[in-house]
Amino acid sequence: MRFRAVILLCALLLALPILAAAADPGDPGRLQLPDFSALSKKAKQSVDISLDPSLLRMASGFINDDNTGGNGAAVNSLIKGIRGIYVRSYTFDKPDEYSKADVAAVQAQLLAPGWQPIVSTHDSKQGSTVDIYVRRSGDHTDGIAIIAAQPLQLTIVNIVGPIDLARLAQLQGQFGVPKVGLGASGQAQSGSR
């Protein structure tokens, strides 16, 4: 009985760092993205972007109207309070190179309290879906998650921190955030695929 208690205590102590990382109250909008190295090996192109606050500040120095279609000041203003941008994107030569299981760990996190779906588009003819979730605490946004799945491409984006949903469209095409057909109001536009 004592031996069992010691083993249980050791197992709990070993699991504490994992549990702490999964439930980090400092960044409730941050997802734990899986290791997609197997997908990266299959992909003809892959993008892996991890920008924490210090890297975002550094990147903002390179943002100007020339490389943002005239939105340099707006994009810099939008990312000012953001604590992280994390992008994983993979493009394949042929369909079925990734499975639903590859994104199941991300989707499971989006079922947690606080996360809610705000946009869901499905095109059965093209076999593509885009799902956008927001993590809210009271009246403020803690994070955004975007999962864009097409037969030849998979993209997962996690933006951590307060972000104005009406201005989210300005990040499309910046920092690896895909163009998902959001208009200036932050609402999905029909026929944007």
Q: Model-level pTM?
A: 0.70
What gap in Å lies between CA 86 and CA 132, rounded to an integer? 14
pLDDT for res 167 = 62
The residue count of the chain comes to 193
Q: What is the largest CA-CA distance in the chain?
A: 69
DSSP string, 46-82: EEEEEE-HHHHHHHHTT--GGGTTT-HHHHHHHHTT-
Mean pLDDT of each 10-residue bin along the chain, 193 residues long: 42 38 63 93 94 76 57 65 90 92 92 93 91 90 93 94 70 58 48 39
pLDDT for res 135 = 95
pLDDT for res 23 = 40
